[in-house]
Amino acid sequence: MVKAASELEAQALRLPRRARARLAQRLISSLDSQADASVDKLWFQEAEHRLRELQSGKVVAIPAEKVIRKARAALQ
């Protein structure tokens, strides 16, 4: 069983980024039997929308360090 899981993991890691993201989302959703499928679908669509905006240059990412520094300053 462990060997089969390792082989499956290796295959999954060779998938394209979008396929890996979709697989990860489905696997995580399967762990929570209480999860509302429509909410999960909406969150996934939002994540894809934000990724497209980043890739197109419509929005610019802010480094996490800068966001954390700004948040800490606001809390002081």
Residue 33 has pLDDT above 70, yes or no: no
Tens-place pLDDT, residues 41-52 = 889 999 999 999
Instruction: Give this prediction's pTM.
Output: 0.45
Rounded to a whole number of angstroms, the CA Rg of the chain reads 17
Q: Tokens 């489905």 map to which residue?
A: 26
**DSSP annotation of 36:** -
Q: Please tell me the distance from the alpha carbon of residue 29 to that of residue 24, in angstroms, as a whole number.
A: 8
Q: Write the CA distances from 32 to 13, 49, 54, 60, integer angstroms.
A: 23, 24, 29, 33
pLDDT, average across residues 19-37: 81
